[in-house]
Structure 1
Amino acid sequence: MEWRIYWVGGARRRAPPRTPIDLVSSSAKSGSGDAAPPPHVVEDFFGVIQLLSDGSVVRADDAALLAMPELQDVPGVQWKDAVYDATHGLRVRVFKLAAAAAGDDGGKLPVLVYFHGGGYCIGALDQSPFHTFCLRAADELPAVVLSVQYRLAPEHRLPTAIDDGAAFFSWLRGAGSADPWLAESAELARTFISGVSAGANLAHHVAVRVASGRQPVVDDVDPVVRVAGYVLLDAFFGGVERTAAEANPPADVSLLTVEMADQFWRLALPAGATRDHPVANPFGPESPSLEAVALPPALVVASGGDVLYDRVVGYAARLKEMGKAVELVEFEGAQHGFSVIQPWSPETSEVIQVLKRFVHKAIRPAEG
């Protein structure tokens, strides 16, 4: 039998699926009129996430929401998991070529840090769509790919996931850089931050933290990690005011609707926050200016059939207005998250090629 996980007061418990959750106190069962009424569902995301009125969360397996083919390894690519945050049990999945291809630094390869999607509420690094994309990237860029786990909302509301992404870079700069696979194959001075959907939103915020000095990953004496660029694939941004694509969404939207995006933000943002919160809307009324932030070059991929298309294109336009180095690539008619939903499609193959050109044309930073 499969089990659902629910949280009450921070404790992790199990309950069988499709069974009413009995959270009624013993006094209520005995007929006492003093007992509070049992909690009720205030948010229900397709039965996969149920947020109750007392703050507890009921979860089911989210694999049914995405096409989840079996994991198919790519010949010549090895992978393994490592723990980067033992306190919270957070892992990173490391992908590398079995025999490292000749890179630009004595056989070492650039590093692609990757954050999975899922509206900050679902998804996992070991799910086949994200795993497969990382396999392809490791093989075809080629690069050492680091797929990073982070804590999900609503159990852990934002900015928890961003804090986890920043903590990963602290680990990478320290213990992670000593991992035998990375020490042998990874040129950490050419590290790229990337992600899809919510993972792209996360990549933006981690890149800003690094570029603004709030997340020190570079030591003036020993420059272990340098971020050479960042890559946003169908970034999950939001805002209170509707864009044209949100007000009149494409007729064939399949993966992410406006209603689903709104619900993800309600579940993920701090309680009571609007979609103009700085995490959702990097150019919102309360968002700090990026004018003075020395962002690395950005590659922004937008899908023409995505309800978030205007937000992604607008993000690239705002960066360009500020004089930032940004490359925008559009895929007409493509759906949100196509790079993982259709990991072997011709469009995804083109994304890999675009990413390869971006990574290998990046100017290597001068040695500190």
Structure 2
Amino acid sequence: MENEDLSKNTRLFIKLNNLVSLPKSIESDYHIVMFKTYLKHDIHMVHLKYLKNHLPEVEKSFIYGVVADFINKRLNPLDCLENKGDYEYNYVSIIAKCLLLCESEEQQKYVLDIVCDPFFDAVQSLSPTKTENDLICKYLYEFIFCLKYTKAFLGQEYINLLPVFERIMKKLHKILPTQEYFAKYVEIHLTMLYYKTIKQVLQIRPDVFEDPKKTKECVQIVGKLFGKYIGFEIKELVSKYFRSIVSLYADVLQKYLQEYFVLYRGNNRGLFVACVIKGLLEVNSTDATIIALNLFKQSYQFIEKSYHDEILKIFLEWNNDEVKFLLCTDVFPMFYSNYN
């Protein structure tokens, strides 16, 4: 069937693409067949999106073939500016995610060699004109965003992902200069810290991920530990680079929490941010406290009032002139003008 152009058969085309329901056991197979059959038609994007959202259930050899075809045929200097549609970001997303779904070291090495390296090599080979550079950045930004793949982080069947992140960073450094794209490297590091957080919580409190009634507790535990990891990392960055990096990092963190954690809306979003702040404060570092201050200033409207006094009390206990100055000039005027 997949070798025929079924789009010419209008009735069959409509029928196949508008099935009301499918048995769960054959959903992936259906979308694979439909993707292959209608690859030359726009409708294949619907099936591509399904495959992207259900990668763990899709045959890996098929996915590897799909991304290899994309890399070879679409990521080349002759074709890189022609007919680029938003749907192509689905391919980039799949590339990022499939790197994180390895169940053995052998499989991980294989996917790094046949997917990761060819992808970055192809991107690097594109001519660096401004238009092409914009396209390259869009692809890489999508790739970086999709590395925060909670489903893979939670999967006990998947092996350690740190070698994947290390390979990605090594490849990226050849394409994106660190100083110019510092924010993107911070985002990757934050995703790595989030991954470490999930793995740590899985070891000490796996029950909070399994019981829907413990969602609030899960958000609290993950947020606080994530904040601690961030606090320890900023200490390392300051010692490696310079003190003013704290301000740059704080801005990236605020944006990261806003854009990468879209599921945390309403009360859960405020709770998560509040717990990240509390984790930062537990590091007992001036730099981590300044980042916590910035985060509180930018996000206090999402945080329940019950947490405001608790967080402000911790800030006030800091016997540090810089922290006190920022409290008086940035936080207190903003806070009390909105709540009193």
Considering the TM-score relative to the shorter chain, is it more than 0.5? Answer: no
Q: Which has the higher strand share?
A: 1
Please say which structure displays the higher CA radius of gyration.
2
Q: Under a length normalisation based on structure 2, what TM-score does the superposition of the two structures give?
A: 0.31
Q: Which has the higher helix share?
A: 2
Higher relative contact order (CA 8 A, sep 6+): 1
